[in-house]
Amino acid sequence: MRLSKKGKSLAGLLLLLITALPALAQPGKHVIIGYVGGFHGLIDTTMVHAKKLTHINYAFVNVKNNRAFLTNIKTDTTNFKNLVKLKKDNPKLKVLISIGGWAWSKNFSDAVLTDTSRTAFAASAVDIVRKYHLDGVDIDWEYPNDIGDGNVFRSADKQNYTLMFKALRKELNKLEKETGNKMFLTAAVGGFKRFTLNTEMDKVARYLNYINLMSYDYFQDSLHISVHHTNLYGSKKYNPAFDSGDKAVNDFMTAGVPAKKLVLGVAFYGHSSRVIDTTANGLGIKTDGKMRAGGYTFIKDSLVDNPASGLKYYRDLDAGAPYLFNPVTRQFITYDDEWSIKNKCDYVNRKKLAGVMFWEYSSDKKEYLLDEIDRDLK
């Protein structure tokens, strides 16, 4: 059968559409959420490459007198202005305030104890977002119904944690109507099962855009054992039941959180300890003290790539985690590198998670790890 000119044109258009379908069908970008530490003081935003990020979480806003509170208002407000200016480079970038953190979570339990206090707390948080033209709120309560850093806590935190997000979502919805801009509500959560037992994560997830798993700091201070602090899987070198990123993902999904809202945490810094002997290249050994590790730029440039450091590089293939060990000083260092980051990004793709987040931007000023994330998830 011969086609007319009109038929040929239609056929060509159909072929073009079929060719374009794979691109049109591609899912949206993964989120890449970077925590930026305003507690350091003024942020050098020239070091922040906005095009490599989808969200910046500004850490931290305090909780004082049952309200969200800017402790360092002079530097905080300057930082807000400078971070918002980064949208010139990436108009889709979102800037959120992160409330709490390890050191500033002691007042959460009181602040969200009653309907009245929750409403006031939520309004105070969203007022900061409104005033500085930001894009939402991240809550980093460490931890509800758990002591954290010597915090006030009570069993009612389990339900009040949910009700806090309900109140915050209500206030953010009001701001959405005022501005016409989407407002984000997220949470940083402990990357371990106990967090899910102390909360109602299935209910919480309904109010949140993303849930950022703090799948790091898995060092065992209380047990004094040299273990990975940000491993993707359990290690066969020591108790495989210890925490890992994969275990956290599965625990939260079991608790009712959909994969599409889970964001896997990666560490831009390391932990170090001194072990009691040199067996097993330092992994899974009793420790007798802490030593310095530092951020990844320092680890890579001054330790891994510096023979004078005396540190040897190893990979725990089961855990998907690298580590360094010096048999003379008995120094053990656990951290993320480009190899483990690629493992985690591949995992995010396989599990259909929302993306990755990292703590904290200034720990890798040369962006070795962010560049790897950008390559793997772009």
Residues labelled catalytic? 142
Instruction: Please provide the size of the chain in residues.
Output: 378
Nearest to 47 by CA among 357, 367, 369: 367
Contacts of 319 (CB under 8 A, 6+ apart): 228, 231, 232, 233, 234, 235, 237, 244
Supply 190's token pair: 């402990």
Residue indicated by tokens 């067996």: 279
Residue type, 257: V
| Closest-CA residue to 175 (of 245, 125, 120, 115) | 125
**Look-up: residue for tokens 């962006």?**
367
- Compute the radius of gyration of the chain from its Cα atoms: 23
Beta-strand pair 55-64/67-69: antiparallel
DSSP state of 144: T
DSSP assignment letter at 271? E
Distance CA 117, CA 127 (A): 15
